[in-house]
Structure 1
Amino acid sequence: MSAIRPWRTIDRRPSRQIMVGKVPVGGDAPITVQTMTNTPTSDANATIGQIRRCEEAGVDIIRVSCPDADSTAALRDIVRAAEVPIVADIHFHYKRALEAADAGAACLRINPGNIGSPERVAEVVRAAKANGCSIRIGVNAGSLEKHLLEKYGEPCPDALVESALDHVRLLEEHDFREYKISVKASDVFLAVAAYTQLAGELDCPLHLGITEAGGLIGGTVKSSVGLGMLLWSGIGDTIRVSLSAEPEEEVRVGYEILKSLGIRNRGVRVISCPSCARQGFDVIRTVERLEERLQHIRTPMSLSVLGCVVNGPGEARETDIGITGGGNGRHMVYLSGVTDHHVQDDGMIDHIVRLVEAKAAEIEAAQALVPEAAE
């Protein structure tokens, strides 16, 4: 079979590249995964602890809210402790933006039109330039400007895009172009339409998100639909999955969305069946335990877990490691698509974990010899 599969190709929208600290966003840079802390930012230790868990999950950029002076006072310690760039979330008080920039924030999430006079906008831009900060313009359907709601009657794609363009003009008047934009909505159709329209208006990087998406299951589905539609059409340079769940769960879901589209691979991609009466072992519980046990694996690789021989061998041929359920508690293990040995029920999960860890070490060793082969 030819390795060229045009039906898997995503033609990514061309965009200019900006830097969020040490992380490039846009252009030919990998699509990054973001999340946001939910601890009080003024509690630096708690916030750093949460950032650590997100870093372990693979987060590229993390945002913290800075609603008051105590938060920006703690930001310097947070930035110093974090291994990834920190975005300071600012809403209305321009002084918080100045303080955050001075404290080392890599990016300011701020809508210039919300912070008052042109003089205040100019001050924020000067602080961003002086400290090497980029800016994210964050438009949200739930907080559109009053005059736009009066003009359009309700949140709509035109209103979100007009708001974004208005904020862009305020930055570009001060010769500032290190910005990215989000036009989020909790309505999937509204968000997708707004992002699609905005993508044709500007060349800046776009930060994707379906805001207030919901809980872990509902929000994952909703975000996957919305972000998947945009990413498949080539739109998006960085993503945040907004869930009523712990931030590290947002990171894991973000990577699963990117993995499902073949955009970025991190960790183990599990192919598993929904299980049925033919299963030779408890597929559901096995997958649950394997996903939990393999969270520490960062090396991209694939694992198939199939309960019987109907689809099992075919799936196993396409994965690095596979297991197919057999009779009498005796199951077939595949390595690199080839039948290799059997394993009994007892100790099966431990055995698979050891195989995955060994394969990850093998891949990492090969990449160390040929660095350009790494992601």
Structure 2
Amino acid sequence: MKFYKRSQTRKINVGKVAIGGGAPVSVQSMTNTDTRDWKSTVRQIKNLEEAGCEIIRVSLPDMESAQVVSKIKKNIKIPLVADIHFDYRIALEAIKQGVDKLRINPGNIGAKDRVEAVVKEAKKAHIPIRIGVNAGSLKSVHNFHDNISRAKELVKAAMEHVNILEKLKFYDIAVSLKASNIATTVEAYKLFASKRNYPLHLGVTEAGSIFSGTIKSSAGLGIMLNEGIGDTVRVSLTADPVEEVKVAYSLLQSLELRSAGIEIISCPTCSRTQVDLIKIVAEVENAAAKMKELKKLKKPVKVALMGCIVNGPGEAKDADFGIAGGKNEGIVFENGKIIKRVKPNMWVAALLQMLKKKISEK
């Protein structure tokens, strides 16, 4: 049972995906292909769609990349966000090409008339704008050494951009305030959430590799989500973007905000373990990831994999089903009751069979 209350934020629409206003926390990622190579970009986005990504962002560093947006859009199913810096003409072209959302900082795309031109076209196209403030690119942040002061600078910069849009009567806004430091990031989001009710895009920027970045992102995002802050997330990893999506769903599922389809409960193993449990867990996870039907479940199926009888049905009694066992066999249990025994080489097959049965029941 969730033990926190989500902040009430303004609802915006990115294509067919709602952000804020009580909508489920959505999962985003960003391509790392050369956007101008639109076919490679589409291939990567399709992989991300398969993993459950709901909104995808591409960087548009030049006009050539902006001019292929329509080709990308025609070949993908999820909303497309254009990441733009400095050149307002690229933003105008992206809107013309049919992008679903802009990620810009109004203060860095030129004079007032240029901002007005972008906002006018965004209004006409009914697309929102995300104001993305990053500590690494904000010079004033580096004048301070404490996290609270740095957080205040991030919020100050975000508010300057927000005020620009509000003066133009544009309110379909999302905001992100990212730093590579967890404390700075958390304080910035908390402070901004106390000032405006625009939906917040959460992330810890430049988090790192798949290992360290997962830990860092989970720590930072977990704090904010646990306090009810956040409407959409991106886990930034130096890895295949598909891994970002997997981590995001796992994190959201752990907080009971979204379902990744399956929740595996497994023991850490000890000298009592007589089977290759690490390998078995990996095989079950990989096979389950390919079951598209799982992603449609509102509540995850809990599957237990225990390396011995000590950690068997008793400690995994909350699981829908699972296996516990030793060297020569495993005890299969469902809702805490033993139903049969299987050999170790049949553990994966037995679990997948039960998983398919569970899906058909739901």
Q: Give TM-score, length-normalised by structure 2.
A: 0.94
Worse-superposed segment, 295-304 or 282-291: 295-304
Letter in 1 for 2:125: N
CA contact (8 A) 2:265 2:316 kept: no
**1:83 corresponds to 2:77:** yes
Deviations 1:156-215 (A, max 9, x none): 011000000000011111110001000000011110111111111110000000000000
Q: Identify the match of residue 248 of structure 1 among 229, 242, 249.
A: 242
Counterpart AA for 1:122: E
Partner of 1:110: 104
- Contact preservation (8 Å) 1:316, 1:334: no
Gaps of 5+ in 2: none
Query: Of 89, 94, 98, which residue of structure 2 is paired with 1:100?
Result: 94
1:28 to 22, 25, 28: 22
Q: Does 1:352 align with 2:346?
A: no
Q: Is the 8 A contact 2:205 2:236 kept in 1?
A: yes
Tell me the residue number matched to 1:370.
none
Structure 2 Cα separation of the partners of residues 281 and 291 of structure 1: 17
**Residue 277 of structure 1: aligned partner:** 271
Shift of 1:350: 1.9
Question: Is 1:340 equivalent to 2:334 in the alignment?
Answer: no
Match of 1:317 in 2: 317
- Whole-Å separation in 1 of the counterparts to 2:290 and 2:4: 29
1:244 counterpart letter in structure 2: T
CA distance in structure 2 between the partners assigned to 1:337 and 1:63 by the alignment: 44
Secondary structure of 2:332's aligned partner: strand
The 5 A counterparts of 1:181-192 are: 181-192=175-186
Instruction: Return the offset for 1:92.
Output: 1.0
**Superposed counterparts of 1:179-328, under 5 Å:** 179-297=173-291, 298=295, 299=297, 300-326=300-326, 328=327
User: Residue type of the partner of 2:278?
Assistant: I
Tell me how far apart the structure 2 counterparts of residues 344 and 308 of structure 1 sit (CA, whole Å): 13
Deviation, structure 1 residue 361: 2.3
Residues 227-262 of structure 1, C-alpha deviations (whole Å, 9 max, x = no match): 000000110000000000111100000000001111
**Aligned counterparts of 2:141 and 2:309: Cα–Cα separation in 1:** 58
Offset from partner CA, 1:248-295 (integer Å, 9 cap, x none) = 100000000001111111221111111111113111111111111110
Residue 329 (structure 1) aligned with residue 323 (structure 2): no
Deviation at 1:150, TM superposition (A): 8.1
After superposition, the C-alpha distances for 1:30-55 in whole angstroms (9 at most, x for unaligned) are: 00010000011111111111011111
How many Å apart are 1:25 and its aligned residue?
Answer: 0.2
Is the 1:316–1:323 contact (alpha carbons within 8 Å) kept by the matching residues of 2?
no
Query: Structure 1 residue 125 and structure 2 residue 124: aligned?
Result: no
Give the C-alpha shift of residue 301 in structure 1: 1.2
* TM-score, structure 1 as length reference: 0.91
**Secondary structure of 2:289's partner?**
coil
Please state whether the residue corresponding to 1:316 is helix, strand or coil. coil
Q: How many residues align?
A: 354
> Is 1:73 matched with 2:67?
yes
Query: Per the alignment, in what secondary structure is the counterpart of residue 314 of structure 2?
Result: helix
- Aligned-partner Cα distance in 1 for 2:46–2:208: 24
Deviation at 1:336, TM superposition (A): 3.1
Unaligned runs of 5+ in 1: 364-375
User: Structure 1, residues 117-145: CA drift from partner, whole Å, max 9, x if none?
Assistant: 0000001101111112111000000011x
**1:373 matched residue in structure 2:** none
Alignment root-mean-square deviation, CA? 1.5
Q: Residues of 2 paired with 1:150 and 1:295: CA distance?
A: 42
Deviation of 1:351 after TM superposition, in Å, equals: 2.0
Once the two structures are TM-superposed, the CA of residue 314 in structure 1 deviates from its matched residue by 2.4
Counterpart Cα distance in 1 of 2:209 and 2:142: 32
- The answer to whether the 8 A contact 2:41-2:72 is kept is yes
What amino acid does structure 1 have at the position aligned with 2:57? R
